[in-house]
Amino acid sequence: MRAARAPPCANISASQLHAQVCRQRMDERTARLLAYVERNVDHFAAACTRCGKCFEACPLARYSGKLAGQAGGAVVTGILDLLQGRGDMPAAIEWARMCCQSAQCVKACPEKLDAMLMVRLARITALGSTGRAPLMADAKRDPNFFRRINAFATLQLTDAEIAEWH
Ligand code: SF4
Ligand code: SF4
């Protein structure tokens, strides 16, 4: 009679097991972070009226030839399309690229939406950091961005803390 085979885990060293558990936890936290992004995208898509007031209030818009003369409503629609993975409007990508987090857009929103968060999520999406194809040249200079998002997620932040980070 043949001896019973040891269970697969018996062949894993303590450090391999630790690495496996860490990877599993990291995957869970990344999933939480991506779910947080998705929840916000759904919220912006449903609540934003595309009035464009946030774009009109942005002090940076005048400093880019790609943004000059653009209609705010069209650029915001471009941002929302980008967030939903169905658009690559150059002006929307440019706005997301330029954002310096001044928060002027937040004050301008009549719907009390966090337009800055919307633009920042568009930037993360355009960089390819949520798993979609990158739309922004910076992704080439920062190929480890998604890895850093993973590392960030390992800090075990709650949704409120992640919101604070934004
Ligand atoms: S937070 Fe970004 S998008 Fe909003 S006004 Fe400031 S620079 Fe413009
Ligand atoms: S100001 Fe608010 S409602 Fe208007 S387009 Fe910007 S985020 Fe949407």
Query: In which element (H, E) is residue 39 found?
Result: helix 14-47
Domain range spanning residue 94?
Answer: 47-153
Residue 84 in contact with ligand 1 by CB distance below 6 A: no
Q: How far apart are CA 123 and CA 96, in angstroms?
A: 5
Report how many domains make up the chain. 1
pTM of the prediction?
0.76
The DSSP string of 53-100 is: HHHHH-TTGGG-TTTTT--HHHHHHHHHHHHTTS---HHHHHHHHH--
pLDDT (0 to 100) of residue 118: 97
In a domain, 147, yes or no: yes
pLDDT in tens, 22-74: 778 777 888 888 899 999 999 999 999 999 999 999 999 889 999 999 999 99
pLDDT in tens, 127-153: 988 888 999 876 455 555 555 555 555
The two tokens of residue 7 are 């269970």
pLDDT in tens, 155-165: 555 666 555 55
In a domain, 116, yes or no: yes
Q: Are 166 and 120 in contact (CB under 8 A)?
A: yes
Which of 83, 92, 165 lies closest to 130 in space, CA to CA? Answer: 83
Instruction: Give me ligand 1 centre to Cα 5, in Å.
Output: 61
pLDDT in tens, 5-29: 555 555 778 888 888 877 787 778 8
Which of 32, 116, 48 lies closest to 84 in space, CA to CA? Answer: 48
pLDDT in tens, 80-110: 999 999 999 999 999 999 999 999 999 999 9
In a domain, 140, yes or no: yes
Instruction: Give me ligand 1 centre to Cα 136, in Å.
Output: 18
In a domain, 39, yes or no: no
Is it the case that residue 126 has pLDDT exceeding 80?
yes
Instruction: Give me ligand 1 centre to Cα 151, in Å.
Output: 26
In a domain, 66, yes or no: yes
pLDDT (0 to 100) of residue 64: 92
In a domain, 86, yes or no: yes
The torsion angles phi and psi of 93, rounded to 5 degrees, stand at: -65, -40
In a domain, 166, yes or no: no
Q: How far apart are CA 151 and CA 145, in angstroms?
A: 10
In a domain, 27, yes or no: no
What percent of the chain clears pLDDT 90, i.e. is strictly above it?
56
pLDDT (0 to 100) of residue 137: 75
